[in-house]
Chain A
């Protein structure tokens, strides 16, 4: 056998191996949709997405409460993680002397390496107790604690992607601004941050994906009560656009109540659910929902990142 032929064979074999990732993705889609499909022979997609009642015993499979809680917890996490993460990224990219960078970088890598179950354990034992005592609540297992833990967990990804995009702003921009007499902060605010904004946004989107998909930490600290806050339910029933504002007004109060995320519901109910039954299928439908959300977030973050790199060039 000559070399060319050998090379061809190796090339084709390697091609087959390299399709594994794509194949896996397709398989995941096929299996999830296949298992989830059975639910929709029984109830409509709208009942699943907008139904506010989840009671498998009575055949009610409204996943809205879980989506609501997942969304609120993630939003809360972003509120904490974006300012902290972006300013830390600015620090690393622009301000820090090299010794400070040498300390901070490994710290962020370590934070990213801590398993989620340990974040959950820490959250349950320390933050839940702390919130309960300082805010004098009946239970510390609240959406607020979920947001705090998730914020810590998504910090590394927001920091590393923001830092990359801040560092990729051409040095000439900065020098030009400083030469005009602007201070470092003015340069950051008016030149560097605007130029790096798409990259920062991409990092935040990836962070959202992580937060929505996070399971183990959330299941330990949220308290796992799927009951929608009474007020939200009441206001949803009345179906008026103005009510959205009222719900938003209630959010600080809702943050101090327990909840249950999509991911926790799957984890907690898979044991009792009968295999192949409707309940089982409904849990897979939640998995499909999570998959679709994270897929869209990941793809859009990639598009933003690649476009922003072209723009900066």
Chain B
């Protein structure tokens, strides 16, 4: 019979090992992608057009395509998400309706990305083809926007709720109306939190493949002004194409390197802003 003290020590060891295992897994994945990806990477890889069916040259159109798609997604989701947050926090007590909105947000968040892809395909490709032009930046960007809307709503809600009551009451005490308090006090002081949500949404949208896979094209195109109705490429779908068709795993890793770098850098900024915000609230 092992004494209870020994069991205690063993189990503590198990917990330490499982946490270290997870850290090792992350470093394995990142380390491998970085070490493989860096060999493909140089200045021209990022700035030039691809040649020979993406085997040679750069990946510039995929980077630009991803950035524009994500911009459209954010333009749709951020205003809607923030306004929803303001309504839930400032205008409504907890009741059946807010519960209904919350359940919708949670369910929307749980919808698999490929189902968003199907929805976008049916809505933008066939029913609204005359409006969207089929596989265009507008269709892809909006589908991505639908996907990240729950993230933006939730983070905005948290940010708006964290505004100290004393600030609101101070504003009312000075004779400000509710609308003035919202626009001059509540929204400005929750902006860092909202920005954190936007950055998280940015990272999520940039990394999605399945929702836009029916909306982007594989041959290199540079979207022309005014962007919305032109076709585009995306980093994620190109990685899938290069890997699944076994065109070039090496270049797929190059693109993965670029994609992860974009996401890591944006996450780092989100964290910085979060820290800044935490310090400000304490004051």
CA of A216 to CA of B208, assembled, Å: 9
Q: How many A-B residue pairs have CB under 8 A?
A: 248
A275 in contact with B244 (CB, 8 Å): no
Output the nearest chain A residue to B24 by Cβ-Cβ distance.
A107
B248 CB-CB contact with A under 8 Å: no
CA of A215 to CA of B259, assembled, Å: 18
A294 in contact with B119 (CB, 8 Å): no
| A 225-268 binary contact with B (CB < 8 Å = 1; else 0) | 00000000000000000000000000000000000000100110
B267 in contact with A21 (CB, 8 Å): no
B243 in contact with A121 (CB, 8 Å): yes
In-complex Cβ contact of B8 among A31, A96, A186, A209 (8 A): A186
A184 in contact with B179 (CB, 8 Å): no
| B 200-216 binary contact with A (CB < 8 Å = 1; else 0) | 00011011111001100
| B 71-111 binary contact with A (CB < 8 Å = 1; else 0) | 00000000010011011100100000000110111111111
In-complex Cβ contact of B179 among A7, A92, A107, A117 (8 A): A7
CA of A263 to CA of B56, assembled, Å: 31
CA of A111 to CA of B30, assembled, Å: 10
Could you write out 22 A-B pairs with CB less than 8 Å apart?
A7-B178, A32-B115, A84-B22, A87-B14, A88-B15, A91-B16, A91-B19, A104-B22, A120-B240, A126-B28, A184-B12, A206-B110, A215-B113, A215-B114, A216-B209, A263-B112, A267-B213, A284-B118, A287-B115, A291-B111, A294-B112, A299-B103
Binds A, one of B44-52, B146-154, B187-195: B146-154
A122 CB-CB contact with B under 8 Å: yes
| A residues near B263, Cβ cutoff 8 Å | 113-115
A108 CB-CB contact with B under 8 Å: yes
A203 CB-CB contact with B under 8 Å: no
A152 CB-CB contact with B under 8 Å: yes
Q: A32-B118, A117-B236 are in contact. Are A185 and B243 (CB under 8 A)?
A: no
Shortest C-beta distance, B146 to chain A (Å), equals 6
CA of A107 to CA of B264, assembled, Å: 12
B110 in contact with A95 (CB, 8 Å): no
Name which of A21, A25, A275 has the most chain B CB atoms within 10 A of its CB.
A21
Q: A3-B179, A114-B260, A115-B236 are in contact. Are A87 and B15 (CB under 8 A)?
A: yes
B108 in contact with A214 (CB, 8 Å): no
| A residues near B1, Cβ cutoff 8 Å | none
Output the nearest chain B residue to A4 by Cβ-Cβ distance.
B177
B16 in contact with A287 (CB, 8 Å): no
A18 CB-CB contact with B under 8 Å: yes
The tally of residues in B whose CB lies under 8 Å from a CB in A reads 84
Shortest C-beta distance, B164 to chain A (Å), equals 22
| B residues near A152, Cβ cutoff 8 Å | 25, 29
Shortest C-beta distance, B115 to chain A (Å), equals 5
Taking CB atoms and an 8 Å cut-off, the chain B residues in 15-71 that contact chain A are 15-16, 18-19, 21-23, 25-26, 28-30, 32-33, 36
B283 CB-CB contact with A under 8 Å: no
Shortest C-beta distance, B210 to chain A (Å), equals 4
B239 CB-CB contact with A under 8 Å: yes
A21 in contact with B150 (CB, 8 Å): yes
A185 in contact with B18 (CB, 8 Å): no
A88 in contact with B22 (CB, 8 Å): yes
The tally of residues in A whose CB lies under 8 Å from a CB in B reads 86
B185 CB-CB contact with A under 8 Å: no
Other A-B pairs, 13, CB within 8 Å; known A113-B207, A122-B33, A276-B126: A15-B91, A18-B83, A18-B101, A19-B101, A84-B18, A88-B22, A115-B209, A121-B253, A124-B243, A126-B28, A152-B25, A287-B114, A287-B115
B121 CB-CB contact with A under 8 Å: yes
CA of A90 to CA of B84, assembled, Å: 35
| B residues near A117, Cβ cutoff 8 Å | 207, 209, 236, 239-240, 256
Q: A125-B249, A215-B209 are in contact. Are A291 and B23 (CB under 8 A)?
A: no
Shortest C-beta distance, A299 to chain B (Å), equals 7
B259 in contact with A216 (CB, 8 Å): no
B252 CB-CB contact with A under 8 Å: yes
Listed from nearest, the 7 A-B pairs whose CB atoms lie closest are: A213-B112, A115-B207, A298-B110, A14-B87, A22-B104, A91-B15, A183-B8
A270 CB-CB contact with B under 8 Å: yes
| A 113-154 binary contact with B (CB < 8 Å = 1; else 0) | 111111111101110000000000000000000000000100
